[in-house]
Amino acid sequence: MPRCPNPRCQMDYPSGTTRCTNPFCLCLLPEAVVGGRYRIETLIGLGGMGAVYRVSDTFEMTQVALKVLTLNSHVTDEATAIERFRREARYAHQLRHKNIVPVLNFGQDGELLYLVMPLITGGTLKELLKGERPLPTTQAQQYLTDLASAIDAVHAHSQKIIHRDIKPSNLLIHQDDGRLVITDFGIARAMEQEKPLTQRGWSIGTEHYIAPEQEHGQAQPASDIYSMGVVAYQMFTGLLPFQAVVRSKALELPLPSKLNWSLPPSVDPIIMRAMEVDPARRHRSAGAFAEALNDAFAKDVTIANDIEFAPTLVATSNANVIIRALLPENPCVKCGRENRSSSRFCRYCGHGLDDASSLVAEMCQIGYMSDKGQHALDNEDMLLIVQGLCVTLTAPLRPFSLFAVADGLRGLQDKQAGGHEASRLA
């Protein structure tokens, strides 16, 4: 007995029923077949323009995602809904980019319009931001770089496409390599050769991410830059702009670095510029936005080769050296740049990543521990302890950074230093 997959409905039906009869649901039931080949398995999500299902392709024997739009949609009139769906299929099928979810097939089955896409199971950016906490800086940077690449590819289309609905729920995480991919071109608009689809009295977009000019039905490429800026603000602070204003009880939007102390202040004007009210004052492209942001972060990184270790520190019998190392993930031993954990070759210089960095090998000697009894009095700010009590570690290769903080050490006058004094000496 099939049951409606919509968690808000879940009505049971006799065997052989293919669709929910609830007028506010109308979901396809499990085992229903669309287009003669796509068998419904489960519901992935519902949206204003239709539903997305996980289906089995009985021809290719693979699992794919199927987006279905019913012709009797309650959201808009039938002609407009059909035109939007066909436009989504046509444009998305033309766009071929690693950060854009491709359309594999599309068609019509009775009163159902459908398009087939690869099944992306890595989740959405919206799910990562549910906790209202900022993402790790490097992760947020990579997602913005991927998003910028996709937006620029959309804007470079000959029909001058605007996505118009850049938001976390439309940004998926690819399960293979963790890259961010953009989907849902159901409200994308070509500025030339085709009539606008915005109905009188309302604009297309999602609240909180929509640009001011788009809200008045005058979307342009800069509108996507605005939405990207809101997404960037949310990734780096964990909050939407309106949430930041309310929670900080401020009269104006707080700067990102004021909400996330790990951010350098140099990124503030870059993110805020993307959300300028005047479209002309925003970044000229998504790529320019991401590049400016990455440059600001790069300038803030401390290079380990510039660090000089004090040679006058002498370890005593109870000396402990605290090490804080900023280590890139899966670093390349040739150029020192960070790569994804699943990568086999460096994406910057092409060098193989099978060889482990010497610094990473040395870090295996670092572990957490705490002293007990009288020893705890000599180690008041101990965090990470280097086994072997070594204070003569050589500076690692660029761009790694290494900092030593120690207690139980003696200075030039042979006076034992501890706590903050030892940290200053180190």
CA distance 129 to 140: 11
Tokens of 177: 């390599």
Q: Which residues pair with 109 in a beta bridge?
A: 112
Q: What single-letter amino acid sits at 125?
A: L
CA distance 226 to 207: 13
Quote the tokens at residue 392. 């003569």
Rounded distance, CA 50 to CA 47, Å? 5
12: nearest Cα among 27, 23, 1, 28: 1
User: C-alpha angle with apex 354: 352 to 359, nearest 5 degrees?
Assistant: 105
- What residue type is 160 in one-letter code? K
Residue 237 · residue 225 · CB < 8 Å = no
DSSP characters for 283-341? -SSHHHHHHHHHHHHHHHPPPGGG----TT-EEEEEEEEEEEEE--SS--TTT-----T
Residue tagged active-site, from 165, 184, 224, 407:
165
* Active-site residue, 165 included: yes
> Amino acid identity of 342?
S
Residue 34 contacts residue 114 (beta carbons within 8 Å): yes
List, by residue number, the catalytic residues: 165
